[in-house]
Amino acid sequence: MSERRIPLSEPRMSGNEARYLAECVETNWVSSAGPFVERFEREVARATGVPHAVACVNGTAALHVALLVAGVEPDDEVLVSDLTFIASANAIRYCRAWPVLIDAEARYWQIDPDKVRDFLARECRWRKRRLVNRRTGRRIRAIMPAHILGHPADMAPILEAARRFELPVVADAAEALGALYRGEPVARIADVAALSFNGNKIVTAGGGGAVLTGTAQLAERARYLTNQAKDDPVESLHGEVGFNYRLTNLQSAVGLAQLERLDRCLESKRATAAYYARALGGLPLELPEEAVWARSSWWLYTVLIEEEKFGVDRASVMRALAARGIETRPLWMPVSGQRPFADCQAYRSEHALGLHRRSLSLPCSVGIAEDDLTRVASALAETHAEFAGAGGSARVRRGSR
Ligand SMILES: Cc1ncc(COP(=O)(O)O)c(C=O)c1O
């Protein structure tokens, strides 16, 4: 009998989701207004410690609006990590601005703060009180750290560079709900931040996002843009080209029920990371680290596989695990390697591609069973043994959760 498939990251509906959805149906509040939207926004704001949250249809839309309210205009440039999901870069292009792709650092795989600072100091200059890229002549308008996999980027030097060069910080916190940088939620240490509530995230609304900011004016503008820039709802007057980016009451109902269990979801992710760290510690893999200044949300547990050490390359490991019913995934091809961004400037990209090639994210759904974790760890050990002749499942240590 073939073994049950273990997905990479699936949603877990184990709270008030069905009850809240039934309430939407019973009251007929099913579309883009309703009491759950407001409750969801209040709960997102509470969970992140950011005063204002504006719910959006998805995280990509939230990023788009976050960039717009931060002042990004056509032909501006925004610094973003080369190693992030394509949505980070797409959102910049939706503003008709351009990403400058900064390399990831090798230790935590986040945007490299030294390269951010070097790029701004060496490759840019002030012209008529605007910071411009020497190479392209375009204005630099924002820094957008994406806290990938739920581990924060090292924000102190990024904030320092942002202050020195008078740039707002727009955080792509899509993967980092619950992540802390030096004790602060990552969304709170940005001028504007965006979250995702996609189905594979720590908590989901089925699909959804949120723009977060401490500035009431920016929040008001975000709300205006997400609601078709409506000036007068009765006369249908619109002050500019806006977007239909609102989240429905149905989605907000699911999102709220999920957020009520955020602490437990984060505990589950952390326990999974601890299990893998112990169980895989004897294998020649590079395991993810949590910086002393960080509390990761451990969104996706990702390891690096060096062919010379492990005996086989990452792609073959992925196939071997798939044959055992285990879903895994590499980190994204860097943005600079994606066709729509091939002409964008990539600054000193030394690590991003190598990280993509060696990386493998392992199953880590909220509430994943210990048996499943054991199966994943054993499959990795067996694959290593098969290719490197190294002793198989004896190398899997008993994980503890
Ligand atoms: C880093 C990053 N940015 C942006 C997004 C976009 O979010 P969504 O899928 O909700 O549009 C995601 C997730 O999918 C993401 O992982």
The string of pLDDT tens digits covering residues 66-112 is: 999 999 999 999 999 999 999 999 999 999 999 999 999 999 999 99
Pair (316, 248) in one structural domain: no
Pair (27, 106) in one structural domain: yes
CA dist., res. 246 & res. 227, Å (int): 6
Pair (245, 148) in one structural domain: yes
Pair (211, 267) in one structural domain: no
Pair (220, 248) in one structural domain: yes
Which pair of tokens denotes residue 165? 């060069």
Residue 4 lies in a domain: no
pLDDT at 233: 83
Measured by CA distance, the residue closest to atom 12 of ligand 1 is 174
**Cβ 175 under 6 angstroms from ligand 1:** yes
CA dist., res. 341 & res. 378, Å (int): 39
Residue 338 lies in a domain: yes
Dist. CA 102 → ligand 1 center (Å)? 19
**Cβ 84 under 6 angstroms from ligand 1:** yes
Dist. CA 59 → ligand 1 center (Å)? 5
CA 264 to mean position of chain CA atoms: 19
Amino acid at 192: V
Pair (211, 242) in one structural domain: yes
Residue 285 lies in a domain: yes
**Cβ 146 under 6 angstroms from ligand 1:** yes
Domain with 160, as residue range(s), is 17-259
- Helix axis angle, 370-388 relative to 314-323, nearest 10°? 130
Which pair of tokens denotes residue 31? 């579309």
Per-residue pLDDT of the chain (401 residues; tens, 9 = 90+): 468 999 999 999 999 999 999 999 999 999 999 999 999 999 999 999 999 999 999 999 999 999 999 999 999 999 999 999 999 999 999 999 999 999 999 999 999 999 999 999 999 999 999 999 999 999 999 999 999 999 999 999 999 999 999 999 999 999 999 999 999 999 999 999 999 999 999 999 999 999 999 999 999 999 999 999 999 989 999 999 999 999 999 999 999 999 999 999 999 999 999 999 999 999 999 999 999 999 999 999 999 999 999 999 999 999 999 999 999 999 999 999 999 999 999 999 999 999 999 999 999 999 999 999 999 999 999 999 998 864 444 344 545 44
Closest to 363 in 3D by CA, of 298, 296, 311: 298
Dist. CA 209 → ligand 1 center (Å)? 9
Residue 2 lies in a domain: no
Question: What CATH number does the domain containing 301 carry?
Answer: 3.90.1150.10
Return the ligand 1 atom nearest residue 146 CA.
1
Pair (185, 300) in one structural domain: no
Pair (27, 164) in one structural domain: yes
Looking at the chain, how many residues does it have? 401
**Cβ 361 under 6 angstroms from ligand 1:** no
Pair (200, 106) in one structural domain: yes
Residue 145 lies in a domain: yes
Last residue of a domain, one of 259, 286, 314: 259
Report DSSP letters for 106-165, one per residue.
TTT-SB-HHHHHHHHHHHEEEETTEEEETTT-PBEEEEE-B-GGGPPP-HHHHHHHHHHT
Question: What CATH number does the domain containing 190 carry?
Answer: 3.40.640.10
Residue 10 lies in a domain: no
- Domains: count for the chain: 2
pLDDT digits (tens, 9 = 90+) for 181-223: 999 999 999 999 999 999 999 999 999 999 999 999 999 999 9
Pair (34, 116) in one structural domain: yes
Q: Which of 92, 198, 212, 333 to mutate to test the pocket of ligand 1 (most atoms within 8 A of CB)?
A: 198
Last residue of a domain, one of 233, 259, 285: 259
Radius of gyration of the chain (CA): 22
Pair (187, 273) in one structural domain: no
**Cβ 198 under 6 angstroms from ligand 1:** yes
Q: Which residues contact 283 (CB under 8 A, 6 or more apart)?
A: 310, 380, 381, 384, 395, 396
Contact 372, 363 (CB under 8 A): yes
Return the ligand 1 atom nearest residue 148 CA.
1
Residue 94 lies in a domain: yes
pLDDT at 384: 96
> ∠322-82-136 over CA atoms, to 5°?
150
Integer CA distances (angstroms), 217 to 192, 224, 246, 378, in order: 12, 11, 18, 53
Integer CA distances (angstroms), 300 to 130, 364, 366, in order: 39, 6, 10
Last residue of a domain, one of 219, 244, 259: 259
Pair (45, 107) in one structural domain: yes
Q: Which of 60, 64, 92, 297 to mutate to test the pocket of ligand 1 (most atoms within 8 A of CB)?
A: 60
Q: Which of 110, 175, 300 to mutate to test the pocket of ligand 1 (most atoms within 8 A of CB)?
A: 175
**Bridge partner list, 102:** 81, 347
CA dist., res. 175 & res. 148, Å (int): 6
Max distance between CA atoms of the chain, in angstroms, equals: 74
Residue 326 lies in a domain: yes
